[in-house]
Every structure is written in structure tokens, then in C-alpha cells.
Amino acid sequence: MAEETAARLRILGYPGSLGEPSALDAALDAGARSVEFTGLCSWLVAQLKSVCPSIEESISPTQGPEEADSFQLEVSGVVSELHCPYTALTTGEVTTRLTSRDNCHNLLGFLISELQAARVLKAREPLPVETDGGKARGEIQLICQALEIEPKSLHNPALLTEVQNTVSLRLHSLPDSAVMNPLLKRQLDPELWGRLAAVSQALRVEYECRMRMLIKRFQVTVQSFHWGERGEARSYSMSSVVFPLEAALSPVSLVSLSLLLAAREDASRIVKTSSGSSRLGTSCAVNKILMGSVPDRGGRPGEIEHPMPSWERRREGGRPQHQQKRSGKKQRDK
């Protein structure tokens, strides 16, 4: 339990000493009396407020065990504002809520989950539109640096014409095969742009659904390794390796319409995975091992012979079942 929480803290970028399971165990036992524990809670809330400025309540780290009561009062305000689902953290005597190890662990789990969710939602927010054109000016400056153009003013309409002419000259100076023709040659009107946007959105939704399924299968597979005796003994080692990999997985697709406009004709070429160029990066020594002769495992229904019926010898004094039924019926008729 502490191993998983410590790993989640490291993924969030927590710089303190409680990123180690042993130190976190000791802090959870001490609860609000631990300076390290209160500092961790304060760091989580500060990170959460940096993502969600609308949060009003805050937590201050303590300097000693004598400030445990005031710390719990501040925690009470935070969990109430965030609508914490743990009733043990929102009801009862305020100064005794964080004297239990389970309550302290639930508090950390709640704050960590809130911070993770807030960061995910923040990353999904669309980029703000800069009305002052600051972003556009930055892009124009990068273009000018790449083309070695020294503009007198970024607001000069003639600058775009100069950029276009410079790009055309650079392209004409390249060999014929250096830059391929664009893959999309058709001129797009507003109706086609709308259709492409709808197709792109549908593909993004489909990709996200499939990626979430793969991530869930990955999580379930990793959990199964923890069930064995060796898995329980090496739980921390596995978690420290797996959690960074899991955190790097994102279900959100980065493919956009801009990549379609930038695609060239070579993007439509279909190359077999068994081709020589592809095998240069995938071949290994295992591929050169020959298995030799293997037993025939069957699996061909057309070659299977019909089984012969099995005959049993009559038991001594016995008769076939149909004859027994007939003789019984005759006796009843008599």
C-alpha cells in the first residue's frame, strides 16, 4: 500500500523524502504529528491550487507536533471544499481525524487523485487564443530565423510575401526527388474542411477508446503479477518500474489535420513488415534458430476418420434394453 502511494508521489514530481516507502510508512503512523506528512499534504494542495486557482482553502506545513490541531483544522476546510468522499475525514471530532493511519492514507490517496485528475483536465484544455497576437509573432520569428530573414517589422504585410518567395527559391534549389508532392492534392472548400474535421474527430474518439482498453489490459496484467508469492515480495521493485511507464501512456491522439496537409506521397506507400528494409530493425538472433521436425498436431477436420461404434459384450443373463421393456409390458398386460 505504501509502495504504490510512494510511486505515485514520485510520478507527480514530489521532491521530498516521503517518496521512499519506509519513510512514508513512518509518516503515516505519526499522522498529523509528523512534520514530513504535513509538508507532503501542503505540497499536494499547493500543486493542486496551481492547476485550479479557484480553490480557496490551503494547508500550511507544521513546525512540530504541537501544531497538529491547527493542521487538522486546515485539512478539514480543504476536504470540505473538494467534497471528499471519505466521511471519516469530513465528520467527527476535527482534532482526532488524522490520528488513524488509515485516515492519513485515505487523505493522501484523495489529494493525489485530485491532483492527477486536475492535471489531466488541464492538459486537455484547448490552448487560449491570444488576442494580442503574441503567439503569432513568436511563430513568425521562428520562421524568419529558419529562413535567415531579418525583418524590419513583424507587422509588415510584405513580410509574408518575402517568406513565401524565399521558401519557393529554396525548394527550386533542391534536387527533384528531395521534396515529394503533397499527398492531398485537392483544394478544400469549407464543406470539405467540415467533413475532414468530423472524420478526424471520429478517429480520435475511436483511438482514445482503443487506447484506454489497452491501458486497462496493461494495468490488469501488471496486477496479476502481484498475486504470487514472489510478486508480493517484489511489489515495490515492480511498481517503481511500471508506474513511470504507465504514466507515459496517454489515450489522447496527437494526430491532427495539420499532419494531413504536411503528408507527402511517400506516406501512402505500403511496406511489408517482412521486407528487407523493415527487417533491418526487427531481425534478431532468435529468428535464425530452426525448430526442426515437430509432431503433427492435427487440426484438419477433412482428414479425420469417423470413429467406429464401440460394442459391449452382453452381460451374463442380461438382455438388450428394448427386449426388457417389451417383456415388462407383456407382463403388465397379463
Locate 196 and state its grid cell.
475532414
Say which residues have a Cβ less than 8 Å from residue 186's Cβ, sequence separation at least 6.
192
Distance in angstroms (rounded) separating the CA atoms of residues 208 and 223 = 22
CB 51 within 8 A of CB 120: no
pLDDT of residue 126: 63
What is the band of 99 on the pLDDT scale with cuts at 50, 70, 90? confident
pLDDT of residue 115: 92
Q: How much of the chain, in percent, has pLDDT values that exceed 90? A: 19
Length of the chain: 334
Please give the average per-residue pLDDT across 290-295, as a whole number: 81
pLDDT tens, 158-189?
888 888 888 888 888 877 767 778 888 888 88
Please name the amino acid found at residue 298: G
Please give the average per-residue pLDDT across 265-280, as a whole number: 74
pLDDT tens, 24-68?
889 999 989 999 999 999 999 999 999 888 888 888 889 988 999
DSSP calls for 181-228: PBS--SPPPHHHHHHHHHHHHHHHHHHHHHHHHHHHHHHHHHHHHTSS
What is the band of 129 on the pLDDT scale with cuts at 50, 70, 90? very low
pLDDT of residue 8: 87
pLDDT of residue 152: 74
Please give the average per-residue pLDDT across 115-133, as a whole number: 70
Distance in angstroms (rounded) separating the CA atoms of residues 254 and 129 = 19
Helix/strand/coil percent split, the chain, to 5: 65, 0, 35
Please give the average per-residue pLDDT across 315-323, as a whole number: 53
**In the chain, where the domains are located:** 2-124, 136-169, 183-267
pLDDT of residue 317: 54
Distance in angstroms (rounded) separating the CA atoms of residues 303 and 200 = 49
- pTM of the prediction? 0.43
| Model confidence at 130: pLDDT above 50 | no
What's the whole-number average pLDDT of the chain?
A: 81
